[in-house]
Amino acid sequence: MSALGKRALHLFLVVFAASSVTFLMVDLLPGDAAYQIAGDTATLEDVQAIREELGLNRSLVLRYMNWLADVARGDLGVSYLTREPVREAIMARLPVTIELMIAAQLIALVLSVPAGIYSGYRPRSCIDRILGSTSFAVMSIPVFVMALVLIYLFALKLGWLPATGYVPLSADPVANIRSMLLPALSIALVEWVPLMRVLRSDMIDTLHEDYILMARSKGLPTHTILFRHALRPSLFTLVTLFGIQVGHLIGGALIVETIFALPGIGRLLIGAIFSRDIIVVQGCILFIAVAYVAVNFLVDISYTLLDPRIRRGGGGWLTAPHIR
Amino acid sequence: MTASKDAVQAPLLRVENLGVLLQNEGRVVRVVDAVSFRLKQGETLGIVGESGCGKTLLCRSLLGLLPGCAAVAPDAKAFFDGKDLFRLSESSLNKVRAAGIAMIFQDPLSSLNPVMTIGRQICEPLVHHLGMTARKARSRAVELLHSVGVSGAEQRVDHYPHQMSGGMRQRVAIAIALSCGPKLLIADEPTTALDVTVQAAILDLLMRVQAGSKTGMILVTHDLRVAATRTHEVAVMYAGRIVERISAGALFTHMRVPYTRALVDAIPKMDRPPHAPLHAIEGRPPGPAGAIYGCAFAPRCDRAIEKCRARTPPMRSDRSGRHWYACWNPIQEPAP
C-alpha cells in the first residue's frame, strides 16, 4: 500500500475511534442539551419537546450514524445551544489556539535548544548542573501555578503586560503580542524542560561519535562542530517530543486559556462538554484528531529531512529512525 | 654541522617522552609512557602492537583529540614545525589540524558524518583553512575525489556516506585528510575495518599520495607485514611503551626484543603444514590498572631474567644508532 494510502487509513481509524468513544462518553453523562436550552424553570414537557425537535430522543447509534453521514458530506453540524455552525465556531477560535501554540513552542525552542546543546557539550559542568536543577524545579510547578505567578509578577507587580484578555492580531499587532506573552510563557516554561533534556542526552551521544572526532581533526571551530555536525543528528527525540507537544496544544491549552480568558479551542470544547452540546464536542474532537495525525505526519517528514538514510534507504515515510 | 644541513635534517615531528594519563574511576593510570621518536619529511613510521597497547591514544594525543578522561603528561613534548603541539592553545591547534597534521580514522563507516554530503565534508576544511569560495572548494573536492580514485566524482560529491561502500568511504576520508595539503598524515589502522581485497588498494593509495607530496606519515597497524612493506621504520609498542624501533627491512630478520619476535612468530605462514597450531603469545597483555614493575612483557617472555622483573629496561641503540630496543636480555643473533 502506498504511504499516503496508509496515512489516509490511519486518519480514518483515529477519527472513527475518537469520535465514537466521545459520542458514547458524552451520552453517558447525566443530563443533555435539552435541559440546558430549556433552562431552570422549564417543565418536563418543554424539555421533551426540545428533545423531539433536536432529535435527541432517537437512539445513540442512529444519532452517531447521522453525524458521521453529515461529516462525510463536509457538514459538522450546528450547535444545539447557540445555533452557530460548528465549523465556524472552530474557525473563529482556531487563530487564538494556533497563535498560542506557535508562541509557546517558539519560546520553548529558544530556551531548550541552546541550553540542550551547551549541557550536552559540557555535561556535569557547573552550568549544566544549574540548568538541570532549575529546569526540573520549574517543570514541577503546575501550569496554573506558573500562570498565576507570572500574572502576579508581570501584570500586578511590574505592570508590564496585561493579565487577561485577547486582542486579535488584525486589530492591534502589538497589543496582540502583549496579550499572548504571558500565556505562551506559562506553557513554554513547562514544555522546554523535557525538550532540553532529550537534546542534552542525544547531544552527549552524538559528540562521542567518530565523525565528531573527524570534524575536530579538520580543525573546525567548536561552534561549527556543535551546530553543523552534531545538532542535526541529535534532533530526532526532540522533534518527536515537539510533535507530541504541538498535538497537545492544538487541542487547546485549556487551563491557560481559562486563566488568561483566551477564546481558544480548549475553552470551546470544555464549554460544550458542560452544556452537553454533543455536536460541538464532536466537531472539536474531529478537529483535534485530524490535527494530531497531521502533526505526526509532519514529524515523520521531518525525520526524512534530518537524516538522508531514511530518505533514500527505502524505509518509506513510516519507518521510525534509528535512535541511539 | 652547518646550519643549512641542519635545516634539511630537522625532523618533521619530534616526540619526546610522551605519556598519556587516563583517569579511571578516580585512579590515574599511565596508558602511554616514555614514547620518543622522530619522523622525517617523506618518511613513514609504522606503529605496531596488540589492541589496547596505546596506539590510538598516542595518535590522538598528537592532535589534541584525547577523550575527556585522558590527558597528556605534563613533561611530554612533541615538536612539529617548530612548535610544541602540547603547548598550543585550542585555536592554534585548530590551525595545525588538517592544514599541518591530518588524520585518517579506523572505521570509515562511522568517521563520516551521515547527514552531510561528502562534498560538504571535503569542502569544509578548504573553506575554513584555505579561504576558498564555495564554488572553488567544490571543484577542488571533485579533483580530490578523482585523485583518490573515486569514480564519477562529479556525481559522488552530492552523495551521502551511506550510499558508498566501505572502501569508497575510506577514500573519501583520505580525500578529506589531504584536502589542505598536510605535512603529516596520521593513519590509525586505516584498513582494519575494510575487506581484505580493498586493504591493499587503500594502502597503495596512501603510498602514492605520500610519494607525490613528500608527506610524513604515521601508519598504525597491527599487521606486521603491512608495517614491514609499507613503512621506513617500525616502532613496536607494548603496554603503552615503544619497546623496539627498527628499520622496516630488518624487522623480520634482526629484531632484538623477544616481544617483536613473538609477534613475528604469530603470523600465520603459508609453508606450514595444514592444521599446525598458530603461535599465539602466552598470557594476556597487562591491563592499564596495575602498576608495572620491571619490563611489562616479562611475565609472558621466555627470555626473562631476574633483572627483567625488577627494573624497566631503558631504550638503547646498537652501534648504527638506528636500531633502538628496550630489553635486558635481547636476542643477540639474527633470528633463524
The phi-psi region of residue A20 (left if phi > 0; otherwise alpha if psi is between -120 and 50; otherwise beta) is alpha
Chain A residue set in contact with B, beta carbons under 8 Å: 209-211, 213-221, 224, 228-229, 232-233, 306-309, 312-313
Residue A46: its pLDDT value, please? 84
User: Which of B65, B105, B107, B115 to probe the A interface (max A CBs under 10 A)?
Assistant: B115
> Over pLDDT 70: what percentage of chain B?
94
Q: Is residue B243 part of a domain?
A: yes
Residue B76: its pLDDT value, please? 94
A172-185 pLDDT, tens digit each: 888 888 989 999 99
What average pLDDT score do residues A200-225 get? 94
State ipTM.
0.88
Across the interface, which of A210, A221, A313 has its CB nearest the CB of B94? A221
Q: Is residue B185 part of a domain?
A: yes
| B198: containing domain | 3-100+180-325
How far is the C-alpha of A251 from the C-alpha of A272, rounded, in Å?
A: 14
Q: Is residue B301 part of a domain?
A: yes
Across the interface, which of A214, A220, A308 has its CB nearest the CB of B105? A214
A54-105 pLDDT, tens digit each: 888 888 888 888 888 888 888 888 888 888 899 999 999 999 999 999 999 9
Count the neighbouring beta carbons within 10 Å of the beta carbon of residue A84.
Answer: 12
Residue A322: its pLDDT value, please? 44
Instruction: Report, at the CATH architecture level, how domain A94-263+297-305 is classified.
Output: Orthogonal Bundle (1.10)
Q: Can you give the pTM of this predicted structure?
A: 0.85
B contact residues 72-91, partner A, Cβ 8 Å cutoff: 91
A12-60 pLDDT, tens digit each: 888 889 888 988 888 888 877 788 788 777 788 888 888 888 888 888 8
Q: Is residue B27 part of a domain?
A: yes
Q: How far is CA B243 from CA B49, B53, B246, B260, in A?
A: 10, 11, 10, 8
Cα-to-chain-centroid distance, residue A245: 5
Chain A residues touching residue B92 (CB < 8 angstroms): none
Q: Is residue B120 part of a domain?
A: no
| Chain B nearest C-alpha distance from A195 (Å) | 21
Residue B288: its pLDDT value, please? 63
At B75, which CATH number?
3.40.50.300
> Would the CB atoms of A218 and B125 count as touching at under 8 Å?
yes
pLDDT of A7 > 90? The answer is no
pLDDT of B332 > 90? The answer is no
Q: Which of B36, B34, B53 is nearest to B45 (CA)?
A: B36
Greatest CA separation found in chain A? 85
Residues facing B77 on adjacent strands: B16
Residue A185: its pLDDT value, please? 93
Count the neighbouring beta carbons within 10 Å of the beta carbon of residue A99.
Answer: 21
Does the CB of B200 have a partner CB in chain A at under 8 Å? no
Q: How many CB pairs under 8 A join A and B?
A: 78
Does the CB of B107 have a partner CB in chain A at under 8 Å? yes
B29-79 pLDDT, tens digit each: 888 999 999 999 999 999 998 888 889 999 999 999 998 889 999 999 999
Q: Parse chain A into domains and list their residue ranges.
A: 94-263+297-305
Cα-to-chain-centroid distance, residue B295: 23
Q: Is residue B173 part of a domain?
A: no
User: How many structural domains is chain B composed of?
Assistant: 1
Across the interface, which of B63, B91, B128 has its CB nearest the CB of A217? B63
DSSP string, B10-56: S-SEEEEEEEEEEEETTEEEEEEEEEEEEE-TT-EEEEE--TTSSHH
Least confident window among A86-90, A151-155, B272-276: B272-276
| Chain B nearest C-alpha distance from A228 (Å) | 9
Q: Is residue B189 part of a domain?
A: yes
| Chain B nearest C-alpha distance from A111 (Å) | 25
Least confident window among A102-106, A204-208, A215-219, B220-224: B220-224
A289-303 pLDDT, tens digit each: 888 888 988 998 898
| Chain A nearest C-alpha distance from B125 (Å) | 6
What average pLDDT score do residues A121-127 get? 93
